């Protein structure tokens, strides 16, 4: 929106200006004076030999040694009522304009025009008369650029308001800084300092644009002193705030040079603020010394700061810092335009009016806001990542606590229950040999249930002690072939088949027996999920420093809610399942420093991916 408004104003002015008639004076006459006092009578009576002709397109003549003021005269074209005279650039502290010995314009206040526009109203009676202009004060005085005569309303609306763009940009930046400040109040303290100095930079740029604008001097020319003070305050705030924000983005720099520059600028800004206060208390008697500090010295410091920060930002950008790349792109344009105009300003004896720096400043501020937005977005993503990790950590902790409880329960109960079961089974077997047919059938059912209870107790023991009793380096493909050989008959009974795609020489460390038990549980679950024309594909390969084993089936699959509960104590989606098989598998893989992951969709099958560290000999 800011760029759109900036583009609309000059385009609209150019469109409305078409067809307007104005008169540009091609030349005027000039006479230097060696006294601050002026007399219109003497100027009008001066012989023609004392006047020299100056072309409008020529360079403005420099005052000779000892000259304290200058007279300029020219003949006005024919004018109508409500006309005006527009001078592009006026220099000096005092300006008076006469027609027929009549004073028609007086600056009335001590004003440093610094090359700004001046609009002088004319009446219909002034048509075709000679105008005398007197200028004095300051290190430089006189006029430059074009001198135009035309309709007062048109000149005010089009030529003068061309500088309104500065006010628009400056006001937009101040508004933007205020809005960011309000948002900043709701952020965490760690974001406040970085955002605060960016806001100070943006607001300082806005104040500099408004107070430096020629348009502002046309509407508040009686407040020139206050305007200058606001400009200086913004400048003294900008220099250290800019360096502090750069330091927060990229660090203190090599050997802490950025920090040293920041400390120096803070001290210098405080020193200049003290000088401003002292000069104001003494009724601005030290304007010359204060101007030397704020214009000459500060200008040199700005150029040195820009060169250093540009060098540092390019250095960080070449190292791959994305923020530095964005910063360098915006700052390069701003620094190039600003340094160029500052050099032109000093080489022209401070006659040049800085213009292009504001466009570079707009691009630079946009780059700063982009960097801030990237940091906020990165912080948001980091917070989301922390939230996901915290959720995963809580889930793992809950699962670990559940397993720890069952492990303690298994360790304390399993041994005590298993022995009575074995004794009971033995007596039932003896009784079965001496009983009748009907009793044998009941006793057989009782022994089957005791065997089932014994298997559950064995799973409890495995779960309670998942660690490897003996750690060996074994071949994965051989163990998986052995597991497949055991379970192929069961798969055939279910109407399915098992395919193996195993890479050779895959070695891991652990207990082969526990490894086989884990994959027997996994493949057995896949078999039980098969339907017609079921297929289980077991694949093993090496990637990096890990061995990956995949068990994939085309069975009935599971829902997301079921996947989330796999491995929980006593959770099973089988009618007679206990939920302990997968728990045992999880503990065995965990004891081997591996990981296990389930991927499934309802009606499409399930894939289990186990990743184990490869043996050092492999």
Q: What is the chain's alpha carbon radius of gyration, rounded to the nearest angstrom?
A: 45
Which of the pair, 225 or 525, is modelled with greater confidence? 525
The candidate with the shortest Cα–Cα distance to 308, out of 359, 361, 264, is 264
- Dihedral in degrees, nearest 10, Cα atoms 559, 563, 564, 565: 110
Residue 579 has pLDDT above 60, yes or no: no
The candidate with the shortest Cα–Cα distance to 415, out of 460, 467, 469, is 460
Residue 115 tokens read as 């090359």
Residue 209 has pLDDT above 70, yes or no: yes
Cβ atoms of residues 183 and 161 within 8 Å = no
pLDDT in tens, 462-494: 655 555 556 788 899 999 998 888 888 888 888
- Dihedral in degrees, nearest 10, Cα atoms 427, 428, 432, 435: 90
Residue count (the chain): 618
The candidate with the shortest Cα–Cα distance to 488, out of 530, 523, 513, is 523
- Residue-by-residue DSSP string for 583-603: HHHHHHHHHTT-EEEEEEETT
Which residue in this structure is represented by tokens 């628009």?
A: 168
Measured between alpha carbons, how far is 432 from 493 in angstroms, rounded to an integer?
A: 31
Specify the DSSP class assigned to residue 614: B
Residue 615 has pLDDT above 90, yes or no: no
Secondary structure class of 553 (helix, strand, coil): strand
Average pLDDT over all residues of the chain: 79
Measured between alpha carbons, how far is 331 from 327 in angstroms, rounded to an integer?
A: 6
The candidate with the shortest Cα–Cα distance to 140, out of 176, 170, 115, 166, is 115
Which of the pair, 147 or 322, is modelled with greater confidence? 147
Residue 548 has pLDDT above 90, yes or no: yes
Q: How confident is the model at residue 500 (pLDDT cuts 50, 70, 90)?
A: very high
Measured between alpha carbons, how far is 427 from 447 in angstroms, rounded to an integer?
A: 10
Residue 253 has pLDDT above 50, yes or no: yes
Measured between alpha carbons, how far is 421 from 409 in angstroms, rounded to an integer?
A: 18
Q: What sign does the CA torsion over 555, 557, 563, 566 have?
A: negative
* 3-state secondary structure labels for all residues of 162-196: HHHHHHHHHHHHHHHHHHHHHHHCCCCHHHHHHHH
pLDDT at site 351: 56
Cβ atoms of residues 91 and 113 within 8 Å = yes
Residue 221 tokens read as 């020319």
Residue 507 tokens read as 């070695």
């Amino acid at each position: 929106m800011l760029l759109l408004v900036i583009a609309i104003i000059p385009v609209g002015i150019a469109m409305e200006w078409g067809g307007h008639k104005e008169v540009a004076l091609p030349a005027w006459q000039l006479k230097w004076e060696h006294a601050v006092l002026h007399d219109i009578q003497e100027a009008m009576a001066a012989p023609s030999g004392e006047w020299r002709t100056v072309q409008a397109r020529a360079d403005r003549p420099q005052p000779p040694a000892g000259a304290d003021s200058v007279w300029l005269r020219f003949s006005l074209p024919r004018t109508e009522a409500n006309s005006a005279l527009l001078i592009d650039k006026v220099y000096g502290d005092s300006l008076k304009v006469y027609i027929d010995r009549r004073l028609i314009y007086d600056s009335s206040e001590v004003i440093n025009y610094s090359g700004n526009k001046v609009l002088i109203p004319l009446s219909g009676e002034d048509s075709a008369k000679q105008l005398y202009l007197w200028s004095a004060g300051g290190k430089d005085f006189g006029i430059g650029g074009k001198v135009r005569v035309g309709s007062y309303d048109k000149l005010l609306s089009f030529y003068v308001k061309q500088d309104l763009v500065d006010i628009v940009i400056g006001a937009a930046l101040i508004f933007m800084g205020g809005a960011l400040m309000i948002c900043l109040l709701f952020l965490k303290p760690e974001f406040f300092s970085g955002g605060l100095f960016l806001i100070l930079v943006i607001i300082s740029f806005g104040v500099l644009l408004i107070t430096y604008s020629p348009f502002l001097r046309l509407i508040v020319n009686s407040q020139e002193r206050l305007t200058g003070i606001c400009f200086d305050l913004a400048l003294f705030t900008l220099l250290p705030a800019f360096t502090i924000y750069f330091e927060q983005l990229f660090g203190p720099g090599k050997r802490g040079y950025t920090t040293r520059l920041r400390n120096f600028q803070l001290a210098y800004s405080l020193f200049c603020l003290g000088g401003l206060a002292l000069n104001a208390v003494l009724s601005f008697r030290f304007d010359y010394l204060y101007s030397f500090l704020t214009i000459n010295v500060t200008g040199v410091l700005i150029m040195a700061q820009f060169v250093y920060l540009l060098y540092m930002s390019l250095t960080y950008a070449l190292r791959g810092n994305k923020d530095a790349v964005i910063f360098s792109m915006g700052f390069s344009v701003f620094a190039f335009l600003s340094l160029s105009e500052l050099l032109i300003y000093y080489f022209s004896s401070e006659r040049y009016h800085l213009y292009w720096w504001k466009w570079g400043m707009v691009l630079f501020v946009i780059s700063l806001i982009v960097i801030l937005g990237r940091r906020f977005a990165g912080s948001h993503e980091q917070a989301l990542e922390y939230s996901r990790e915290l959720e995963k950590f809580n889930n793992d902790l809950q699962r670990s606590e559940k397993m720890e409880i069952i492990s303690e329960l298994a360790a304390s109960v399993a041994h005590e229950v298993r022995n009575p079961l074995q004794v009971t089974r033995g007596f039932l077997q003896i009784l079965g040999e001496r009983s009748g047919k009907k009793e044998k059938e009941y006793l057989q059912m009782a022994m089957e249930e005791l065997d089932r209870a014994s298997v559950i107790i064995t799973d409890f023991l495995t779960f309670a002690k998942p660690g490897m009793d003996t750690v060996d380096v074994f071949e994965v493909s051989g163990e998986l072939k052995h597991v497949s050989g055991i379970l192929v008959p069961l798969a055939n009974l279910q109407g399915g088949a098992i395919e193996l795609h195993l890479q050779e020489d895959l070695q891991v460390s652990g207990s082969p027996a526990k490894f086989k038990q884990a994959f027997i549980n996994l493949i057995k679950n896949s078999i039980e999920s098969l339907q017609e024309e079921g297929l289980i594909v077991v694949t093993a390969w090496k990637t990096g420093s890990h061995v990956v084993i995949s068990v994939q089936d085309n069975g009935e699959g599971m829902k997301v809610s079921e996947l989330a509960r796999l491995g929980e104590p006593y959770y099973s989606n089988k009618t007679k399942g206990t939920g302990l098989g997968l728990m045992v598998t999880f503990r065995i893989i965990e004891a081997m420093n591996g990981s296990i992951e389930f991927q499934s969709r309802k009606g499409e099958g399930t894939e289990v991916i186990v990743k184990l560290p490869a043996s050092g000999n492999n």
